[in-house]
């Protein structure tokens, strides 16, 4: 078989079919949450449509060693802690059993040290791996085309070295992990989105969890100042997804800008 260069480590090998977002999450959304179906609903702004689809964004990107590295150091652990259904949400359970030590502007946040039973390093690694994947290559998807090579080298190279376990996590990258605290949680998974050039920020959802990643202190001065003073790069917080801007934006897209296709269109017309 033809050997190609691994995008992460640079070694030549037979590359694996890498997923942009974890394969296991597609399966969980399709089979666990109501309405049960054989596939999740895929909403695409670039296609201006929404439809059931088992399609997953993949690319030959990594060698077997790096693929396993991503899984072992972050993905498997974090996916195990995300929301599986209303009753099974391990990350929220751990936060519910902990006491937040950070209090800013009337809100409370969890320092990773507040949750000793949680391996926060794996959450950092997972967020870093998704950001790196989204920005390191052309995934052939118009909804994230603006992210290819969008990360400046001052962040891209240190992030790559961290993912290879050759350096510590960059001090000038900050992460917030938002945990859905609604009684009726929303099982969202989204592709990474954001405007790195202007806002220096990316975000993405997995069920029950939203990751925000900020590049440089200027991306959010209040956040970077607070975290830097504590000597940390990541905090956890509770947040209602149903009350968030992103959720209402998604609803507006689905209700007014995206046309249902296929089976979803038939269901919509019959409701």
Q: What percent of the chain has pLDDT over 90?
A: 61
- The pLDDT, as a whole number, for residue 44 is 73
pLDDT, mean over the chain: 88
Exposure string of 100-131, with b = 16+ CB inside 10 Å and e = fewer, is bebeeeeeebbbbebbeebebebbbbbbbbbb
- 109-119 residue pLDDT tens: 999 999 999 99
- The pLDDT, as a whole number, for residue 62 is 97
Contact 89, 187 (CB under 8 A): no
The number of helix segments (H) and strand segments (E) in the chain equals 10, 13
- 125-136 residue pLDDT tens: 999 999 999 999
- 226-239 residue pLDDT tens: 999 999 999 999 99
**Average pLDDT score over residue span 87-106:** 92
Neighbours of 182 (CB within 10 A): 16
Strand partners, 104: 107
* CA–CA distance, 108 with 236 (Å, rounded to integer): 9
pLDDT over threshold 60, residue 199: yes
The CA angle 7-125-27, to the nearest 5 degrees, is: 85
Contact 114, 101 (CB under 8 A): yes
- 155-171 residue pLDDT tens: 999 999 999 999 999 99
Whole-model pTM: value is 0.91
- The pLDDT, as a whole number, for residue 37 is 56
Residue 151 per-residue DSSP state: S
């Amino acid at each position: 078989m033809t050997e190609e260069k691994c995008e992460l480590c640079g070694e030549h090998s037979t590359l694996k079919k890498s997923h942009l977002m974890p394969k296991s999450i597609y399966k969980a959304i399709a089979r666990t949450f109501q309405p049960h179906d054989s596939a999740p609903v895929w909403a695409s702004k670039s296609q201006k449509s929404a439809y059931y689809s088992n399609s997953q964004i993949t690319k030959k990107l990594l060698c077997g060693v790096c693929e396993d590295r991503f899984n072992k150091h972050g993905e498997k652990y974090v996916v195990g802690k995300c929301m599986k259904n209303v009753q099974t949400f391990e990350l929220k359970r751990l936060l519910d059993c902990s006491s937040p030590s950070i209090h800013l502007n009337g809100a409370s946040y969890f320092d990773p040290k507040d949750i000793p039973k949680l391996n926060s390093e794996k959450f950092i690694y997972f967020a870093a791996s998704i950001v790196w994947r989204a920005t390191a290559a052309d995934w052939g998807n118009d909804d994230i085309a603006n992210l290819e090579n969008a990360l400046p080298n001052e962040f891209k190279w240190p992030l790559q070295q961290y993912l290879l376990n050759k350096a510590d996590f960059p001090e000038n990258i900050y992460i917030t992990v938002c945990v859905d605290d609604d009684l009726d949680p929303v099982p969202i998974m989204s592709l990474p989105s954001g405007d790195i050039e202007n806002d220096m920020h990316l975000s993405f959802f997995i069920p029950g969890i939203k990751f925000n990643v900020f590049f440089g202190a200027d991306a959010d001065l209040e956040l970077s100042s607070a975290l830097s003073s504590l000597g940390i790069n990541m905090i956890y917080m509770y947040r209602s997804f149903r009350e968030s801007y992103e959720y209402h934006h998604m609803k507006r897209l689905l209700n007014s800008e995206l046309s249902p296709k296929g089976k979803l269109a038939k269901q919509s017309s019959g409701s």
